[in-house]
Amino acid sequence: MHFLETMKAMLVWTGAGAILLFVLMYVDSLFTKYKDFAEVKAGNMAVTVRMIMKLIAQGYILSGSIATANNLLEALVYSVIAFIILLVLEVIVRLLLRYWAQFDLDKGTQEGKIGFGLFSGALHLVGALIITACF
């Protein structure tokens, strides 16, 4: 019986996690100056790289949340809070880079400059590693 309960829990937790990741990626796309999915469809590799790295970062945060939470709701709440923290940090870093280094991540990424997409995605990954260490 334990095996079946574990399999059922895996399906429920994975499904809930997938839904949350979809919602978080959609919300994230609202904060960019361009339409993420339209850019990906058009073949913009910089946006694609950023989006993939962001998905990996969010997946890593969700994984850490699930590993430390006592129940599904707690894991999802941890992930949402971590997403908000990551979003706020991203906005701050974007503004600082634009102001001090005249380095506009959104503009460069939208223009298809791979380095900009990689830099932006790396910020997500590093943020996810730091945030997840707090769990």
The sign one gets for the Cα dihedral 98, 101, 105, 108 is positive
Q: What is the pLDDT of residues 71-89, one digit of tens each?
A: 889 989 999 999 999 999 9
pTM of the model: 0.87
Ranges 7-16, 32-41, 44-53, most confident: 44-53
Q: How far apart are CA 97 and CA 104, in angstroms?
A: 7
Q: What is the DSSP letter of 71?
A: S
Q: How far apart are CA 89 and CA 27, in angstroms?
A: 15
pLDDT (average), residues 96-106:
92
pLDDT (average), residues 32-54:
93
Give which of 78, 36, 71, 56 is closest to 128, Cα–Cα: 56
Q: What is the DSSP letter of 87?
A: H
* CA angle in degrees (0–180, nearest 5) for 122-20-124: 10
The pLDDT of residue 1 is 57
